[in-house]
Amino acid sequence: MSVKDDIIKFCSINGLDVMGFSECRIFHELNPYFDKRKKLGLENEFEEKELDKKINPFIYMEDGKTIISIAFPYLYDNDISGKVYFSNYTMGRDYHLVLMEYMKKICTYIEGLGAKAMYFVDSNALPERYIASLCGLGFIGKNNMLITKRYGSYVFLGEIITDLVIEPDEKVEQKCGDCEICLSSCPTSAIVKGKVGINNNSNICLSYITQKKDIEDLWFEKLGGRLFGCDTCQKVCPYNKKVELSVIKEFKPYEHMKTPEIKVLMNIDNKLFKDMYKITSCGWRGKNIIKRNAIINAFIIEKVEIIALQKDTSPYIRDYYYRLLKFFKL
């Protein structure tokens, strides 16, 4: 077997069956894409501002020869629903930690072959979805999600740069065609017509809005039950209708994430957050983001003043409380 076959077999043994390989090179072809987004003011606070870090993998490994992209399917149950909800990707154990454990194993295996290997899980600015498409994992949809044949867009992505020269896989071309279901379904019109992804505005994407520190009043009613993340464009996508479910046990949803109690989340304290929510993928933003989103949704659903919040010890939470009273004219 070739080195490529050896790596594929090792990943398969560890339950990872969607992966691909691409040449490690500078992605000059993305310069116009990033330049236009910058000129249109479409970058958000989580994005890297330095262009070279977005297109040049040699910043991370000078003698890199191949980039390996690996998909981690996370969807366990496609029928979870409720008035308030967490995005599917947040329901199990924090994917950052899960992916790092798997990627460390794979890198150790590659190093055992006498090569260098460096893994990335949300730890670099490289365009992971674009790289995944180059590696043949899937195509980038109009909603900017990577869409795989077996798991749809319900995948996390990890990358490994190695100094091994490995035969690249073929890029998967865009397959959305004339479909615009995600455009018409997006609650904030963040998905825009035009060349795939280039005009999409992540600054008004509800997944981003539920995570940012400061939410403008005009978005309050748009949350519509969302506690963290959104999922609308994924739920309506035809490619997600008959997907295979994940068998990665770490992504099995916690019961309290499947059926969140808004009153519990409105009054969440440090101990409860540490024990039950910090371990998930929404934990990195801290307790008050979840608490704030729960309070906003409580106002939307109940349309009544929530007296107990007047004495909340957090000035941040109290500020949102009084803004919500004013917004809903209570």
pLDDT of residue 303: 67
**Domain region containing 280:** 261-330
What distance in Å separates the CA atoms of residue 48 and residue 52, rounded to the nearest whole number? 10
Does residue 242 share a domain with residue 279?
no
CB–CB of 179/139 below 8 Å? no
Does residue 182 share a domain with residue 292?
no
Does residue 168 share a domain with residue 267?
no
What distance in Å separates the CA atoms of residue 288 and residue 273, rounded to the nearest whole number? 10
Does residue 303 share a domain with residue 243?
no
pLDDT of residue 308: 67
Average pLDDT over residues 224-245: 96
Does residue 244 share a domain with residue 299?
no
Q: Is 122 part of the annotated catalytic residue set?
A: yes
Q: What percentage of the chain exceeds 90 in pLDDT?
A: 79
Q: Among the options 17, 94, 122, 169, which is catalytic?
A: 122
Does residue 161 share a domain with residue 70?
yes
Does residue 158 share a domain with residue 9?
yes
pLDDT of residue 313: 77
Does residue 85 share a domain with residue 166?
yes
Specify the number of domains making up the chain.
2
End-to-end CA distance of the chain: 70
CB neighbour class for 181 (10 Å; exposed up to 12, middle 13-18, buried from 19): middle
Its pTM stands at: 0.93
Does residue 327 share a domain with residue 241?
no
Residue 65 belongs to some domain of the structure: yes
Does residue 283 share a domain with residue 191?
no
The per-residue pLDDT for range 141-198, each reduced to its tens digit, is 999 999 999 999 999 999 999 999 999 999 998 999 999 999 999 999 999 987 766 7
Residue 216 belongs to some domain of the structure: no
User: What contacts 39, CB < 8 A, 6 or more positions away?
Assistant: none
Q: What is the DSSP letter of 152?
A: B
Does residue 282 share a domain with residue 183?
no
Does residue 193 share a domain with residue 318?
no
